[in-house]
Amino acid sequence: MSEIVHFINGQFVSGNSGRRQDVFNPATGIADKSVILANEDDVNAAVEAASVAWPEWTKTPALRRARILDKFKNILWERLTQLAEVISSEHGKTLDDAIGEVTRGIEVVEFATAAPTLLKGEFSENVGSGVDSHMIRQSLGVCVGITPFNFPAMVPMWMFPVALATGNCFVLKPSERDPSASLLIAEWLREAGLPDGVFNVVQGDKMAVDSLVGHEDVKAISFVGSTAIANYIYTTGTAKGKRVQALGGAKNHMIIMPDADLEMATNALMGAAFGSAGERCMAVSVAVPVTEALADALVEKLKPKIEELKIGPALDPASEMGPLVTAQHLQKVTSFIDSGENEGADVVVDGRNFKQDKQGYENGFFIGGTLLDNVKENMSCYREEIFGPVLSVVRKNSYREALDLIHSHEYANGTAIFTRDGDAARNFMQDVEVGMVGVNVPIPVPMAFHSFGGWKSSIFGDHAMHGMEGVRFYTRIKTTTTRWPTGLRQNPEFKMPTLG
Ligand code: NAD
């Protein structure tokens, strides 16, 4: 059984925690790897390596840092499929989907290669007589990324390319459920010329996370995961004086207006609800058709498409949807369908009946696509994030009712409206209290040069990820005011300096 280790100070190391956890191939249900779980000593070693590397790295010209990232980007393009295969084998998502994930990550690396431009400061001449003023952005020091299982390459890449480009050193703590992608990333950064200690990986669970969040040399923490843990990281980290951005869970609604192109909306829902087996923070998990007649037509169109979903192992090119990540998660998703049924929702398509009969995959963590109709606001399958291939239909009679529904939910990550009515779309864009909005776009994930982040319980902290928000998060500004002898006033002045 192969062992997944840490990457500290440019070396692959096992540490001495003696703790480890199985890593499963979700398609076979077999644990064919194990991951070492760090203790405090391992975390201290990684933070120490990053602290030692920082003074030189932050003084390295931004263009030189950018060139290393540019080489790393080229390596990623060359070995895209290799990284995607590793992701698929531990996460379960289809190879196409994993390639898409890595591609979205590479876009952030491309963005970060503009470091010299991104770090340009501001200069004001003659703010007073003979006085000039300028602002620069400086790095913070050691930054930490704690990431979820569902995007083992893309979510880390929302963070470290911008952190490194702006002169920080980084310690990544990936999900213990699919940890291998982090080591390929570390190896390829080293190959691209990144100095030892600038990027480190500690594998682990709560013990590693708590050691990182409590470490006094850690200046900033980027977290992505479930809301309860995001809140915990934000509260603990900020209480220790750290800068924290913590992105949490989601329940994304898609409104379908009566004038929408129904075929387009149905196909959009299929991809957005069942792609990656619903294990995406931007997955659409609630369809809100406006009017009963439209709801009937939508359910009728969705039903056969969901029944015909091709569910299989990630590496089978015919598969449209893979398994869930673990047996525990399969159990959790199943129990949400049970509770929806018990609370009165109509199970139009029941994924619990799905049996994977492909040889060798009978014990994989598979479930079929599920459609729940007549879901009500008070049901736990509506209120909570399921994070599986379960689409709930909540029927509403007007656009206003649909908008109120969205506003009543605690999560506000992404949302979409499908309509041909420019007036409704414009109102939605302006009024909806959600961070990422699509108009006839079901998964409106912002590009790398914009920023990713929801509202309400989907985020804790003031900064979204990547784009200029990422640059702001990973830098602090310094403003310097200079005066030269020609502008020197002769007499001491005791009042607050003003232009006069
Ligand atoms: P998770 O919260 O279980 O784990 C995230 C990270 O936190 C992992 O690295 C894990 O090791 C660590 N962790 C878990 N329990 C911990 C604890 N008790 N104390 C300290 N650290 C702990 O999330 P997950 O199941 O890996 O990922 C799915 C979740 O992530 C979903 O809720 C999804 O919506 C969310 N997510 C959100 C976004 C976003 O942008 N808002 C993006 C991707 C995923």
Q: Which domains does the chain have, with CATH numbers?
A: 2-248+458-480 (3.40.605.10), 252-439 (3.40.309.10)
CB atoms within 10 A of CB 284: 29
pLDDT digits (tens, 9 = 90+) for 68-115: 999 999 999 999 999 999 999 999 999 999 999 999 999 999 999 999
Q: Is the CB of 281 under 6 A from ligand 1?
A: yes
Q: Is the CB of 325 under 6 A from ligand 1?
A: no
Q: What is the pTM of this model?
A: 0.97
Predicted confidence at residue 484, as pLDDT, reads 81
What is the whole-number distance in angstroms between the Cα of residue 324 and the centre of ligand 1? Answer: 15
Q: Is the CB of 250 under 6 A from ligand 1?
A: yes
Q: Is the CB of 146 under 6 A from ligand 1?
A: yes
CB atoms within 10 A of CB 427: 15
Q: Which atom of ligand 1 is nearest to the CA of 149?
A: 26
Q: What mean pLDDT value characterizes the chain?
A: 97
Predicted confidence at residue 207, as pLDDT, reads 98
pLDDT digits (tens, 9 = 90+) for 251-278: 999 999 999 999 999 999 999 999 999 9
What is the whole-number distance in angstroms between the Cα of residue 284 and the centre of ligand 1? Answer: 18
Predicted confidence at residue 485, as pLDDT, reads 75
What is the whole-number distance in angstroms between the Cα of residue 226 and the centre of ligand 1? Answer: 4
CA dihedral 272, 275, 280, 282 (to 10 degrees): -20
Give the mean model confidence (pLDDT) for residues 422-436: 98
Give CA 111 to chain center in angstroms. Answer: 17
Contact between 154 and 101 (Cβ < 8 Å) = yes
The closest residue, in CA terms, to atom 18 on ligand 1 is 206
- Where does the pLDDT of residue 489 fall: very low under 50, low under 70, confident under 90, or very high at 90 and above? low
Residues whose CB is less than 8 angstroms from the CB of residue 312 and which lie 6 or more positions away in sequence, other chains included: 27, 318, 319, 322, 356, 358, 361
Does the pLDDT at position 487 exceed 60?
A: no
Give the mean model confidence (pLDDT) for residues 326-347: 98
Does the pLDDT at position 146 exceed 90?
A: yes
Read off φ and ψ for residue 64, nearest 5 degrees: -70, -40
Predicted confidence at residue 500, as pLDDT, reads 62
The closest residue, in CA terms, to atom 16 on ligand 1 is 206
The closest residue, in CA terms, to atom 13 on ligand 1 is 206
Taking alpha carbons only, the member of 151, 170, 150 closest to residue 58 is 170
Predicted confidence at residue 451, as pLDDT, reads 98
Give the mean model confidence (pLDDT) for residues 437-447: 97
Q: Is the CB of 229 under 6 A from ligand 1?
A: yes
Q: Lowest mean pLDDT: which of 125-134, 356-365, 428-437? A: 125-134
Active site (annotated) includes residue 281: yes
